[in-house]
Structure 1
Amino acid sequence: MTYFFPKVRQAQQHGWKGQGNKAGGWQEMSRVGAGARLFEATAVGIALLCLGARLEASELRKSPVVRAVERASPAVVNVSTEQEMQRRPGMFPGFRGDSLFEEFFRDFLSPFPRGQARTSLGSGVIVDPKGMVLTNEHVVQGASSIKVTLSDQREYQARLVGADPPSDLAVLLIETKEKLPVIPMGRSNDLMIGETVIAIGNPFGLSHTVTTGVISALNRSIRTESRVYKDFIQTDAAINPGNSGGPLLNIDGELIGINTAIYQKAQGVGFAIPIDRAKRIMRELIEHGEVHPAWIGVEVQSMDEALARSFGLQGRKGVLVTQVAQGGPAQRAGLRKGDLILSVGSSKITSRQEFLEALSAYTGGSQISLGVVRDGREMEVKLKAESLSTQEAVRMAERQLGFTVDAVNQASKKERRAYSMSGVVVRSVEPQSLSYRVGIREGDLIRQINDKEIRSLEDYQTAMARALRRESVTLLVQRGSYGYYLTLELGGGG
């Protein structure tokens, strides 16, 4: 910037070159120079003030929510999956090969054209610099390929490390050696109703959408068509399809929950899996590829009025301990038959189903605190849960259901007159047991447990261990050439 000073030009026009009245000339020029410097400093100061005002305004717009999003969003990813759809069988075999009929039914009756893959979108969060991504199980269920896209548009293929349908959690591994951002981990055991939360995800395919709200409630249970989910965070931050698997953040930008949109009827209500629970499940999935359910070695039943009177527990709610496994965690911690369990961790217990749901939040190795009443006195029992072994699961199933099984081989097929080598064969049924009352008999084949097809004794043991985490089990039973489904109520062991 150039400044012009008239007095200097005037002095030069009158021949002032440092001669004649030198003192007066230099004094005049000094005053002019000082004024010029003052003017220039003032101009620079004004420019800096304007720039500072703009910077200050920019910083003022950076609210805590903005800072939280900036901190966490690089680790939020878009999860895109493809699932190959099986071809629909021909409806009219007589017209096989007729291109006109094939085109008609492909275009108007088949929901998916032949060879087309169904795609779905969800969200996830990078929780480990090696590329581990935490998301919802229903986001990647049945996926034949998985693609992960970061906020900077980098795309990677990912593979499934493990999934746990009961908790609706899954872990993916991004196949890359590049450095990846990691989301800051928070905790969910100190959450407050009313505190601000932030949800980030890809609702309806709109990448990195941010919504805000507050925690509306804690320890919520959600019943869907297939199962009951327990101990969820409820928020009024919008969580829509596509947000599933994305992060729920606190105001510090820390991960406190995994958003899920499993409850489609929700209007203005969102749910998230608490991060403390998610971390326990995630460790199991990374180490074992599946979750080893917590086992404490008790069987319980719900308390009704008649039972409460007989045990002198009128007015009490909880579950009554009916069996304590020899040498199990509960026995070592001092739990006894006849004790009344009031709580598991922070969850109050009023029924056997609530006991099973509360216990399902833990895995093998978890420290669990039980609220117990014994002889009218409340006490706390602390124990370390173990993983439920397949052998123990089978023993529990035998006690609760009342039948035993064998592997199917040629000898047993002939002896039991079995029609198939697939499944397991019922070896014995205890008279007057639940299984006997519903019609299961020696020689029947168990072909399926819930949604798991049974091909071997190992399949049966694994599926039964998973089934014991639920209130009931559905069996596909084959007798001769006929098959039928039976749903049996389990005895509430854990």
Structure 2
Amino acid sequence: MKKIATLLFVSVLGGAITLGSYKLFLEEESNQFLPQDNTENSFIPVNKSHSYGTNVDFTEAAEKTVHAVVHVKNVAVFKGGPRSIWEQTPYGNNGGRALQGAGSGVIITPDGYIVTNNHVIDGASEIEVTLNDNKNYKAEVIGSDPISDIALIKIDTEEELEYIPFGNSDNMELGEWVLAVGNPFNLKSTVTAGIISAKARDLNVRDNSPQSFIQTDAAINPGNSGGALVNINGELIGINTAISSPSGSYIGYAFAVPSNNARKIVEDIMEFGDVQQGILGIRGGSINNDLIKEFDLNTSQGVMVGQVTPGSGAEKSGIRQNDIIKKIDNIDINKFSDLTGYINSKRPGDEVNVKLLRNGKEKEVSVKLTKLDTLEVSVLGLEVANASAEELEAYKAPNGVRINRTLNKDLPSSELVGGIIAEINNQKVSSIRDVEEIMQSRTKSNSIVITYYNQKGEKQRMIWR
């Protein structure tokens, strides 16, 4: 019995010594490699507000958003039946209904408001929307803005729909993870992942109207247009819009309208019926090597003011020609598309703080944005302005914009200035934004025909070739 007790005591003692040695040596050594929670003493900056790295979990963001992205079908209806056999295929021989195109849309309210691209629904006789659960609805166009390529449509449903809340696109950072959610090639509910490759990217697709896109390497293909670009929290930070590719398919990068711009356009359409465009009141351009040499600048980034519009907020705040704009509110202005991208998210009457350089010295001014009421149409050599009801009546014009001044010395200024342009290429115009949209969509090789009313109220036509 004594032997058994002795053996038992030795076994327990040996186990205790072994366990103590492990705790003392091995665990102490392994603890040296555990992440330390004391970030104050760490030499590696830690940002706890973001989840970066290749082990980011996208499942929650995908689950939050995939049910709020819809398939949008642009349907044309032809009287007298389909015009060709190809127009019968999407719906069978169904009285001349043809699928003109398809894309995606993002539900932004539980009662059925949907954001998509204007080019997805443009020219549609009918719009059909299919939810992720395969339910189909007819949609109504609430409004659209061809310039930004954003449209707002709505479906009527008694049930509350899942939707994606807007995030703040100004807060997105280069390299931040994003998801593209849409319906490429009519494949429903597709999610791809990538990063923010660039911000305020201008594709230079329009003269005198810089754009400001989010660039991403998340795979976007035909059919993704109008779909959602979301962060890993499932917030909408962009509307997928464009692909830059010779083949028309994904080759490594794509572009989205920033959510702040899309949200502002949608709110304008819902509240005012059209887009309320605020302007700073300057003309200028990005700093480049030529400007650096000409003006002996000590900065290589920013926007140099070339001209200040009389009566604008910029003039009233004291901004001058050759000032260099470096920052607006908390947004760095490194190039002109940074400026236009931020200003396009604002309305007339909003105030912004502008930080600028003047003769090498920093200066800060507050600018109240004014409404865009004049437009230079360089191809016509004319500046036009919104016309008042009194001006339309005086010139016996049913609609139109006023010719403010001529930009080309060869044009007959005395005959044109003050006249009302009512149509451009047989399309009615009622505002300078209409003019901008028509000029944007025209084929550059085509001639331009304007119908205008002169000072005597006589209806005339002019052709630009």
Q: Could you say which structure has the larger radius of gyration?
A: 1
1:117 aligned residue: 98
Quick one: percent identity of the two aligned structures? 32
Decide which of 249, 260, 268 is 2:252's aligned counterpart. 268
Decide which of 287, 296, 311 is 2:280's aligned counterpart. 296
> Does structure 1 residue 238 correspond to structure 2 residue 222?
no
2:151 aligned residue: 170
> Does structure 1 residue 181 correspond to structure 2 residue 166?
no
> Does structure 1 residue 325 correspond to structure 2 residue 294?
no
Cα distance in structure 2, aligned partners of 1:407 and 1:206: 53
| Amino acid across the alignment from 2:65 | A
> Does structure 1 residue 373 correspond to structure 2 residue 347?
no
2:415 aligned residue: 442
1:32 aligned residue: none
Q: CA deviation at 1:234?
A: 1.8
1:278 aligned residue: 262
1:45 aligned residue: none
Question: Deviation digits for residues 253-282 of structure 1, max 9, x if unmatched?
Answer: 222221123534351212222222222222
Deviates more, 1:129-138 or 1:265-274: 265-274
| Amino acid across the alignment from 1:477 | I
Decide which of 66, 71, 80 is 2:73's aligned counterpart. 80
| Alignment length (residue pairs) | 386
Deviates more, 1:247-256 or 1:198-207: 247-256
Q: CA deviation at 1:127?
A: 1.0
Cα distance in structure 2, aligned partners of 1:466 and 1:324: 22
Cα distance in structure 2, aligned partners of 1:191 and 1:122: 25
Superposed, 1:41-60 pairs within 5 Å as none
Superposed, 1:17-28 pairs within 5 Å as none
Q: CA deviation at 1:224?
A: 3.7
Q: CA deviation at 1:202?
A: 0.6
Q: CA deviation at 1:219?
A: 2.3
Q: CA deviation at 1:469?
A: 11
Superposed, 1:377-396 pairs within 5 Å as 377-388=361-372, 392-393=373-374
1:363 aligned residue: 347
Decide which of 127, 130, 138 is 2:111's aligned counterpart. 130
Distance 1:468-1:393 versus aligned 2 partners, 3 A rule: farther
2:18 aligned residue: none
Distance 1:424-1:131 versus aligned 2 partners, 3 A rule: closer
Deviates more, 1:292-301 or 1:70-79: 292-301
Distance 1:313-1:261 versus aligned 2 partners, 3 A rule: closer
| Gap runs ≥5 in structure 1 | 1-61, 88-102, 414-420, 487-494
Q: Conserved in 1, the CA contact under 8 Å of 2:206 and 2:440?
A: no
Deviates more, 1:477-486 or 1:301-310: 301-310
Cα distance in structure 2, aligned partners of 1:156 and 1:261: 26
Judging by fraction of residues, say which structure has more helix: 1
| Amino acid across the alignment from 1:164 | D
Question: Deviation digits for residues 301-355 of structure 1, max 9, x if unmatched?
Answer: 78899988887757666332533433x432444434553334556363656x886
> Does structure 1 residue 192 correspond to structure 2 residue 176?
no
| Amino acid across the alignment from 2:198 | A
Q: CA deviation at 1:403?
A: 7.8
Q: Conserved in 1, the CA contact under 8 Å of 2:376 and 2:383?
A: no
Cα distance in structure 1, aligned partners of 2:347 and 2:440: 11
Decide which of 260, 271, 279 is 1:287's aligned counterpart. 271
Q: Conserved in 2, the CA contact under 8 Å of 1:347 and 1:358?
A: no
Q: Conserved in 2, the CA contact under 8 Å of 1:356 and 1:469?
A: no
Distance 1:267-1:329 versus aligned 2 partners, 3 A rule: same
2:449 aligned residue: 476
Cα distance in structure 1, aligned partners of 2:146 and 2:376: 24
| Gap runs ≥5 in structure 2 | 1-54, 453-458
Distance 1:426-1:228 versus aligned 2 partners, 3 A rule: closer
Cα distance in structure 2, aligned partners of 1:252 and 1:159: 30
Distance 1:209-1:257 versus aligned 2 partners, 3 A rule: same
Question: Deviation digits for residues 193-219 of structure 1, max 9, x if unmatched?
Answer: 223221111111111011122222222
Cα distance in structure 1, aligned partners of 2:357 and 2:316: 17
Superposed, 1:480-491 pairs within 5 Å as 483-485=462-464
Q: Conserved in 1, the CA contact under 8 Å of 2:238 and 2:257?
A: yes
SS of aligned partner of 1:72 = helix
> Does structure 1 residue 463 correspond to structure 2 residue 434?
yes
RMSD of aligned Cα (Å): 4.6
Q: Conserved in 2, the CA contact under 8 Å of 1:446 and 1:476?
A: no
SS of aligned partner of 1:183 = coil
| Amino acid across the alignment from 2:274 | E
